[in-house]
Amino acid sequence: MTALEQYARLEAAGLWRASPGAQRRDVIVSLGEASLTITDLQDRALAHWSLAAVARANPGESPALYHPDGDPGEQLELGTGSEDMIDAIERVRRAVDRRRPRPGRLRLAGIAAMLLLVAVIAVLWLPGAMRDHALRVLPPAKRTEISQALMAEIIALSGRPCRTEDGMPALDALAQRVLGSGGEGRLVVLRDGPVATASLPDGRILMARALIEDPAEPDVPAGFVLAEGLRQAAQDPLETLVREGGVSASFGLLTSGTLPPALLRAHAQRLLTARPATVADLALLQAFEDAAISPRPYALARDVTGESVLGLIEAAPFARTKPRPALTDSDWLRLQGICGA
């Protein structure tokens, strides 16, 4: 009890009783390092109380009444003239109280930590988990409905897609050559936008009119379609759309299979104005090789100087033998006229 060194050899007079029915006796109370000693007037020890276990029956009142913790029947009364002793005992009691475990505080701290953990999970894990689950259980028909609703917003911004009787078979021929046998109907040429290509949740690829009308050969649009197909494989377009809408979009998709019109409208604007994400050269080269299409026209369409696409030009397959064009000359001419005059 170093905090009580100033009270060394402190003594005070008081009244003490051993039990509730016992007669009170005049005693001398002595303060030791760890105990309170109670003696009679002949200096005979009557009791020893541990300082750490002294309790007060009437806090703030006078005279002060003390008893051993857990035994209120034994009692010590300290009145006028014992202020120093009372002050010393109270200091000890406050020090002991500060060191005593606080189950309530620990419980509150535990609850707070648990709530914090739940909040962290809700913020970091729950949105992604909800989004992934919603995408996993969404029926294909609902994905098609969302794509149709998104396409309606795109048409409102860019006009109806290009379509001619001669041009559509040529467009499907390009889709089948680049995307495989299931590619028919997956390409859509827009009169106004996008910057190059973009994807709908149902797998359709939107193409800028300039990709059809400006190049001298069909391998250019074929290359852009190949690159967009790789983006689709790497990132589900519907996941991108739902991610933009946040938790509310994931919840709506999970419960009703629909997305807010405002989200579809904003996403349509982004599809028509955002530049497509970069695709790694190695993945592109492999896709060109699998489709038996030369990457050189596509690379030079991206950068006419060739400086930023050297990886595609120098490591291009078919260095010795040039593969057949993505379309025949007649199909290419018909495709270039798909948007009319």
Residues 14 and 79 sit within 8 Å (Cβ to Cβ): yes
Q: How does pLDDT run across 223-266, given as a tens digit for each residue?
A: 999 999 999 999 999 999 999 998 888 888 988 999 999 999 99
The answer to whether 77 and 63 have CB atoms below 8 angstroms apart is: yes
**Contact by Cβ (8 Å): 211, 220:** yes
Cα distance between residue 78 and residue 27, in whole Å: 10
Residue 268 buriedness (CB in 10 A; 0-12 / 13-18 / 19+) = buried
Averaged pLDDT of the chain: 88
User: What does the pLDDT read at residue 285?
Assistant: 93
Q: What is the pLDDT of residue 176?
A: 95
pLDDT (0 to 100) of residue 1:
45
Tell me the average pLDDT across 53-82.
89
Q: Please state the φ and ψ torsions of residue 327, each to the nearest 5 degrees.
A: -140, 155
Region 31-57 average pLDDT: 88
Tell whether omega for the bond before 127 is within 30 degrees of 0, i.e. cis: no
pLDDT digits (tens, 9 = 90+) for 70-97: 888 999 999 888 888 888 888 888 887 7
Q: Where are the domains of the chain?
A: 2-99, 101-137, 139-336
CB 224 within 8 A of CB 196: yes
Residue 271, judged by CB atoms within 10 A of its CB (0-12, 13-18, 19+), counts as buried
Would you call the peptide bond into 63 cis, given omega within 30 degrees of 0 as the criterion? yes
Which of 3.20.20.210, 2.30.29.30, 3.40.640.10, 3.60.10.10 would CATH assign to domain 2-99? 2.30.29.30
Residue 77, H or E segment: strand 75-78
**Tens digits of residue pLDDT in 269-298:** 999 999 999 999 999 999 999 999 999 999
Q: Integer distance in angstroms from the first to the last C-alpha of the chain?
A: 100
| CB 272 within 8 Å of CB 198 | yes
**Span 154-169, pLDDT tens digits:** 999 999 999 999 999 9
Whether the pTM exceeds 0.75: the reply is no
Q: Give me the sign of the Cα torsion angle 224, 196, 146, 253.
A: positive
